[in-house]
Amino acid sequence: MLSINKLALCEDDSSIIEIKTSHLMYRWNNEIATQQLKIIRKSAGTYTYVAEVSDDGLCWSYSSKPLYIQIHATPESPRIILEKDGGFCRGDSSRLQIDRKGIGYRWSTADTIAAIFVKQTGTFQVKWKDNNGCWSPYSPIAKTYNFPDEPQPTIQAIPNRQFCMGERIVVRASSAFAYLWSTRATSDSIFVQSSTQVFLKTQNPYGCWSPPSKTLELVAQENPWMPTITRTGVYFIQANPMGIISKFEWQLNASHLLDTVAQIKIRQSGLYQVRAIRNYEIPDAKTIQCVSPFQKTSIGIPMEDPGIRVYPNPNKGQQIKVEIQEDLSDILAELYSLQGKKVKAWNLKNTLSINQLELSDLISGVYILTLAAKNYVRQQRIFIVSD
């Protein structure tokens, strides 16, 4: 009677067949051997074994019942299917799939499943076990690699990262294959109309994303409120701001005036307009000017107007205001009694504002005020009265 530990083998596997009873001599397939026979076959097929025994070396037993041993062929070497030919973005992973379906797998990474994901570049092999339990040789080497990195993009606000409310700016990106803004926009530039912070990631043709760009803070600055206009004199008006401003812009009948201060002189009749301007300065940005709407007022000066105003007159011996419509400089103001005696004198720098003369030390009476400048002389009676 024969015994065996395997009736089916794979190529290059081995098995032991044995005659269970002990005798002097043993013969396997007519060849003298031992009680046990080790079987190793290099090629697939079905192999038959019979045994005979002898206790004296002369007489041999009948042949045993044949023992059939099946040697299965070694499965073909598999191939590794590489996703994107083994390329992947740094920080991502690559999928490796064996092209055979079996009952077992053995990767060079020690994994034992049909498909694996790897996050490192390198070389990989796999073998598989078929339904007969035979292992294939390892597959050819498969290599993985990283796609080129996508560099960090740059973004720029055009024309400036600060702007006035009601305006809009463009934020433009450096050149790339694809874009994804923090606003979820996917174009190479975006429009911004309010204060916000934006950043951008870009993608190359391999599908790899860049690190985020530096965050860009965009600031929408408040426009000044529209000023009011008050009449401060016969020949002067003044703009009154509502909040912080830097200067004013004046217009007369839609023509620009050089004046940028609050109070201006009225040199002719017409439609006067003024708006407030505020300058804004922040780091890493150009200075901008935000403006209010125009305030308007219409002012008329009679054709027969004398061009000079002195008031209050009569005066109680206090300050007296002098307005001259004509633009003058270095004006000498002298006050005379009716007897021709000079009692006071003042040097006035110009007539761009309302000049004030001090009369507190004068007695009641009538005086003559003389105003003289280059190519200009005017006289005005002044009445000083007591309470």
Pick the CATH number of 155-221 from 2.60.40.10, 2.40.30.10, 3.40.50.2300, 2.60.120.380: 2.60.40.10
**Per-residue pLDDT averaged across 243-253, rounded?**
97
In angstroms, the CA 52 to CA 23 distance is: 10
Domain boundaries, the chain: 2-72, 80-146, 155-221, 228-299, 308-384
- In this chain, the answer to whether the domains covering 155-221 and 308-384 adopt an identical fold is yes
239: amino acid identity, one letter = A
357: amino acid identity, one letter = L
pLDDT at position 2: 59
Top CATH class, 308-384: mainly beta
In angstroms, the CA 191 to CA 158 distance is: 10
Residue 363 near residue 385 (C-beta atoms within 8 A): no
Number of CB atoms found within 10 A of residue 385's CB: 12
Q: Which residues contact 32 (CB under 8 A, 6 or more apart)?
A: 25, 26
pLDDT digits (tens, 9 = 90+) for 188-222: 999 999 999 999 999 999 999 999 999 999 999 99
CATH number of 2-72: 2.60.40.10
Residue 147 near residue 208 (C-beta atoms within 8 A): yes
Could you tell me which residues are beta bridge partners of residue 49?
A: 67
Cα 292 to Cα 192, 245, 256, distances in angstroms: 21, 10, 16
pLDDT digits (tens, 9 = 90+) for 14-39: 888 898 899 999 999 999 989 998 88
pLDDT digits (tens, 9 = 90+) for 154-182: 999 999 999 999 999 999 999 999 999 99
By percentage, how much of the chain surpasses pLDDT 70? 98
